[in-house]
Structure 1
Amino acid sequence: MTRRVAAFAAVGLLPWSVVVSGGETTLVFAFGLVDPDPFLLTTLPDYVFAYTRGLPEYLLAWPLGVCLYVGALASAAVGRLTGREDHRITAGLLVLAGLTQVSFAFGFARQPGRYAVPVGTVALFASAWWYEWPALRATLLGPVE
């Protein structure tokens, strides 16, 4: 595994958002929600298939972001294994995954006494910039002559 794929995988181990509501903190990871006190883990599949009925749409930004992130990770891993990868796709998926966490945090910010800090956005954008900047630059600004 290259440093690039390892770095992308490491982003999935960081908390993507830190949600504070009524003085209680919840850590939102790619794999699930962690309430530290008392410790409680709600896995992403449980959240999506058991707890999403009737929830506001901004809360669905988190699972969507995880899907985009998994796509970026798969793109990078398959590219590493086969030597064929479109870095624009990997970069775009990382950036879109980061934007979902901004939407997630913005949804919390609209409610009194609740907010979320989109830590994952910084990590996803930083990894896209660090490893995929040439592809992003070519897509956004055109080829450099």
Structure 2
Amino acid sequence: MTLASPRRRFGAVLALLAVPWSVQTFAGGRPPSFVFAWGLANVDPVGITFLWDFLFRYTRGLPAYITAWPLSVACYLLALASAAAGTVGREDRRVTAGLLAAAGVAALTLSRGFSFQPGRVGWPLGTVACWAVAWWYYARPFLADSGAD
């Protein structure tokens, strides 16, 4: 199996910015909310709250599971930096894969926390996406090289 180029791996990690970390659906037909790595997007009313605003303006009295959001973003940004380093030959693919896996776990914690609220379900799309990129671009080639695949 051939290893994806560093630019392709970087592009895959960068594309995760377009994937919601968590999608919250609500009972009663209320439109969903989308939590991205960069912020929170609401459909009704239409609005965007960027992560830094959320952290530095609206953080009083928030439940503890919300801290999983910036933690997942920190892991993701470190993975993105590691993948970017790969474009100049300086990436340790194990580090990038581990950071993507950690970002996925933190995003799962966020969605799980949302799901404990009555009438709300958090769908962990970011977890699936981070783990898929970690598997496809980082773990799978190692397994193929070792003969375990």
Give the TM interval when normalised to the shorter protein: 0.7 to 0.9
For normalisation by structure 1, the TM-score amounts to 0.88
Q: Work out whether 1:77 is the aligned partner of 2:89.
A: no
- Matched AA of 2:107: Q
TM-score (norm 2): 0.86
SS at match of 1:19: strand
- Confirm whether residue 128 of structure 1 aligns to residue 139 of structure 2: no
* CA-CA distance at 1:104 after TM superposition: 0.7
- Quick one: which of 49, 56, 62 aligns to 2:63? 56
Report how many residues are paired. 140
- List runs of 5+ in structure 1 lacking aligned partners: 138-142
Superposed CA deviations along residues 109-132 of structure 1, whole A, max 9, x for unmatched, are: 222111110001111000000110
Partner of 1:118: 124
Q: Is the 8 A contact 1:88 1:136 kept in 2?
A: no
Instruction: Tell me which residue corresponds to 2:92.
Output: 86
* Greater relative CO, 1 or 2 (CA 8 Å, sep 6+): 2
Q: Which whole-Å CA distance do the structure 1 matches of 2:117 and 2:45 have between them?
A: 24
Deviation above 3 Å: which 4+ runs of structure 1?
134-137
Structure 2 vs 1, CA of residues 55 and 132 (structure 1 numbering), >3 Å: closer, same or farther? same
Gaps of 5+ in 2: 1-5
CA distance in 2 between counterparts of 1:144 and 1:129 reads: 15
Q: Within the alignment, does 1:16 sit opposite 2:18 as a pair?
A: no
When residues 58 and 135 of structure 1 are mapped into structure 2, their CA distance, relative to the original with a 3 A threshold, is farther
For the aligned residues, what is the CA RMSD?
A: 2.0
Percent of residue pairs bearing the same amino acid type: 48
- Report if aligned partners of 1:75, 1:90 keep a CA contact under 8 Å in 2: yes
Residue among 11, 28, 36 paired with 2:35? 28
Query: CA separation in 1, counterparts of 2:55 and 2:34?
Result: 17
Match of 2:3 in 1: none
